[in-house]
Structure 1
Amino acid sequence: MANTYTQIHIQFVFAVKFRNAQITEAIKEELYKYISGIVQNYNHKLLAINGMPDHIHIFIGMRPTQSISDLMKEVKGGSSLWINSRKVLNEKFEWQEGYGAFSYSKSHLQNVIHYINNQELHHKKMSFKEEYLDFLTKFEIDFDEKYTFHDLL
């Protein structure tokens, strides 16, 4: 679009269904490359991607040509299909319903990138659930915890 100027930085956070630790070292790097490709195919700029066996963080410079929900549908759906088609897990892979999307100003970019790149160190002190609820609280997002996480019954 001519004469359209934006600066939109979004961190997405979402979990494996039931927070199962299915993002193994064997698939992690290729999964991140695959998701990066999806993001870039929609002309967004990938700034950082990392996570833990039960969840993922993606930080992008987002173009206004696609909605957040449409991008997440493509990322989560496409990556689930990719993992399952490779038959690298003993069970079906699924992302948990929903996601967090948190916006940042340009002055916060390096801190967010550093935070995402250091997930392993961060999660020695805090669980994913604690981290996610902390994001929701810090960003002053109203939520009902019973709808935030789905545990195995």
Structure 2
Amino acid sequence: MAYWHLYYHIVWATKERIPLISTSIEEKLYKYIIDKSKALKCKIHIINGMPDHVHLIVSIPPTITISEYVRKIKASSSNFIGKNYNNSFYWQDGYGIFSVGVQNFPIAINYVKNQKQHHQNKTTITELEKFSP
């Protein structure tokens, strides 16, 4: 068995950046993404976002590619929300990904944890918020 210790900060948006992640579905969406990640043997360290995008810090084992992970999570979560809560829910193509070193892990966790405050206070990190075509 391989030893691995990888952290990724991944961000993606709703179709056309429409604010489709309402407070009523946010918790259900995040729980679904966490559960689906576990099924793929990936670990979500934190997930949070805004009505038009989501940020997560995740560890993805070397048995699955990053693009495969994102594709599976986006497709299945879009389908889950679309069937159960909002049939107009879709993710935009593309995503942003950043590797996170062990030293910067707490900083990345804090940034994702405080997404709403960062957007409200206009203290977002521009590079982390530009994530799709």
TM-score, scaled to structure 2: 0.91
Computing the radius of gyration over CA atoms, which structure comes out larger, 1 or 2? 1
SS of the residue corresponding to residue 21 of structure 2 reads coil
Counterpart pick for 1:92 among 85, 88, 92: 88
SS of the residue corresponding to residue 9 of structure 2 reads strand
Unaligned runs of 5+ in 1: 138-142
Which letter does structure 1 place at the counterpart of 2:18? N
Root-mean-square deviation (Å): 2.1
Counterpart position of 2:110: 114
Q: Which runs of structure 2 are paired with 1:44-63 in the superposition (5 Å)? A: 44-63=42-61
CA distance in 1, matches of 2:79, 2:128: 28
Counterpart position of 1:135: 128
Greater displacement, 67-76 / 118-127: 118-127
CA distance in 2, matches of 1:6, 1:101: 18
CA distance in 2, matches of 1:55, 1:71: 17
- Percent identity of paired positions between Structure 1 and Structure 2: 34
Which letter does structure 2 place at the counterpart of 1:56? V
Which letter does structure 1 place at the counterpart of 2:114? N
TM-score, scaled to structure 1: 0.80
SS of the residue corresponding to residue 102 of structure 1 reads strand
Shift of the alpha carbon at 1:136?
8.0
Counterpart position of 2:73: 75
Counterpart pick for 1:31 among 23, 26, 29: 29
Which letter does structure 1 place at the counterpart of 2:93? E
